Amino acid sequence: MLVLRRPTLPQLARILAILAVAAGLGVWGAILFAPRPDALPPALRPATVRATDTMPAALLFGKDGTLKTQVTIAGLIASGDEGAAILSVDGGPAQAWRAGQEITPGLRLVRVDRNEIVLDQNGTTTSVSAPPLPPAAAGIIAVEN
């Protein structure tokens, strides 16, 4: 009759060590003796993208193409042909510009009117309206220095 005994701690450690060595040999044997992968096929050149003209569709949705630089009015100082305005160009910090001064190459501030400015970009004039002023507060306003 066969009697099974519980293994002692040194015997259990020896069994676990043998299993760990066998697993390591199996993994490294599979890695080292695996067949080499075939060479990759040559890379394909991407197809050339045909250039499409989207301007007719843009004109349908309100793009006029006249003002290519974004100009935002931060304030108007004086009006007329000698006027000045505070403008933000392409999201940059606001700066003061006099009438007749070139803002960017090809874009010039022509005139400052009461509620708008007139810009000339390569011979095409465009009017940009100033944002409406907030209503004046009623009563006495205390100003702190």
The per-residue pLDDT for 30 is: 92
3-state helix, strand, coil in the chain (%, to 5): 20, 30, 50
pLDDT digits (tens, 9 = 90+) for 4-34: 788 799 999 999 999 999 999 999 999 999 8
pLDDT digits (tens, 9 = 90+) for 69-99: 788 888 888 777 788 999 988 888 889 999 9
The per-residue pLDDT for 46 is: 67
Mean predicted confidence (pLDDT) in 103-123: 86
pLDDT band at 122 (very low <50, low <70, confident <90, very high): confident
**Distance from C-alpha of 132 to C-alpha of 129, rounded to nearest angstrom:** 9
Lowest mean pLDDT among 34-48, 57-71, 74-88, 96-110: 57-71
**Distance from C-alpha of 35 to C-alpha of 129, rounded to nearest angstrom:** 73
Question: What pTM did the predictor assign?
Answer: 0.47
- Asked if the 66-129 domain carries CATH number 1.10.10, the reply is no
Domain residue extents for the chain: 66-129
- Token code pair at residue 69: 């630089």
Contacts of 75 (CB under 8 A, 6+ apart): 85, 86, 94, 130
